[in-house]
Structure 1
Amino acid sequence: MRARIAAVAMAAAGITALAAAPAIAATTTTGTDAAVCASVLNRPCVSHQADGEGIVGVAQVSADPGQLTMVRVDIRTQSAWGSPWETIATATTVQFGSAKAVTPRVTATAPRVICATAGPALDVTKQTTTCTNPF
């Protein structure tokens, strides 16, 4: 009897763990973009594009097609080492399903960091933020 109870408890724990784990989405591509990073559902994927004319912050999130999704990307910089990070460019997109946001091109001196917040637009508690390392 104890063995059966233990087996049922382990099965229930396994089902709970699978339900709680984030689902992995496939690598996504959009229109003219090359393959972009693979992402976890409702977790932003952040990157930047830099050239001689400036820097652009890019964030995207994979989401269920029926979910109203929000993604926001910021480019932040510091005026001096140890000073607070200041946002110098931002972009936000709200749409159903997967979403992408791209900041306007800016010029900024180092250090810079790109941060993105994304997730269900109507549930702030399920939104997550991720940032690049300073560059």
Structure 2
Amino acid sequence: MRARIAALALAAAGITGLTAAPAMAAPATSGTDAVACAAVLNQPCVSHQADGEGIVGVAQVSADPGQLTLVRVEIRTQEAWGSPWETVASATTVRYGSATAVTPRVTATAPRLICATAGPALDVSQQVTTCTRPF
């Protein structure tokens, strides 16, 4: 039963990710990278890692080990001031307990921000989204 629920949630997350970010469909990640942040249950922690080769978005969420958890992270850019933010990279992880998602590397130089959505995978009303300030 758990396997069916996990498969259903993963399929739903994939469809949601593809419709929210049609420019790039990202694979699910393993959730092994750590992000230093407060351990507030079901509240996403978002950060980025930048170097000379680009930027990577990272999101982490702490959750009860028995909860099927979703975490999605997106890198968004803005072509010109006042134009809409466009998702250029995203990643989604669905697993039991705490989870981490890491986007593919992006080399965008336009203003960027990182957004993360996380919480119980089977209850969208309890998922929380948070974003960094543009940088």
Name the TM-score class by shorter chain. Answer: 0.7 to 0.9
1:86 and 2:77 are equivalent in the alignment: no
Deviation at 1:32, TM superposition (A): 6.5
**Structure 2 CA distance for aligned equivalents of residues 68 and 85 of structure 1:** 30
Greater relative CO, 1 or 2 (CA 8 Å, sep 6+): 2
1:45 and 2:38 are equivalent in the alignment: no
Call closer, same or farther: CA 1:53–1:100 in 2, change over 3 Å: same
Number of positions where the alignment pairs a residue of Structure 1 with one of Structure 2: 105
Structure 1 unaligned blocks of 5 or more = 1-29
CA contact (8 A) 2:68 2:122 kept: yes
Call closer, same or farther: CA 1:129–1:32 in 2, change over 3 Å: closer
Deviations 1:45-64 (A, max 9, x none): 00000000000000000000
Could you say which residue in structure 1 is the equivalent of 2:123?
123
Structure 2 unaligned blocks of 5 or more = 1-30
1:75 and 2:75 are equivalent in the alignment: yes
Deviations 1:49-94 (A, max 9, x none): 0000000000000000000000000000001000000000000000
Deviations 1:7-30 (A, max 9, x none): xxxxxxxxxxxxxxxxxxxxxxx8
Question: What amino acid is aligned across from residue 120 of structure 2 in structure 1?
Answer: P
CA contact (8 A) 2:32 2:100 kept: no
Question: What amino acid is aligned across from residue 86 of structure 2 in structure 1?
Answer: E
Deviation at 1:31, TM superposition (A): 5.8
When normalised by structure 1's length, the TM-score is 0.74
Q: CA RMSD in A?
A: 1.4
Point out 4+ residue stretches in structure 1 off by more than 6 angstroms: none
Deviations 1:82-114 (A, max 9, x none): 000000000000000000000000101131000
When normalised by structure 2's length, the TM-score is 0.74
Larger Rg: 1
Could you say which residue in structure 1 is the equivalent of 2:100?
100
Percent identity for Structure 1 against Structure 2? 80
Could you say which residue in structure 1 is the equivalent of 2:110?
110
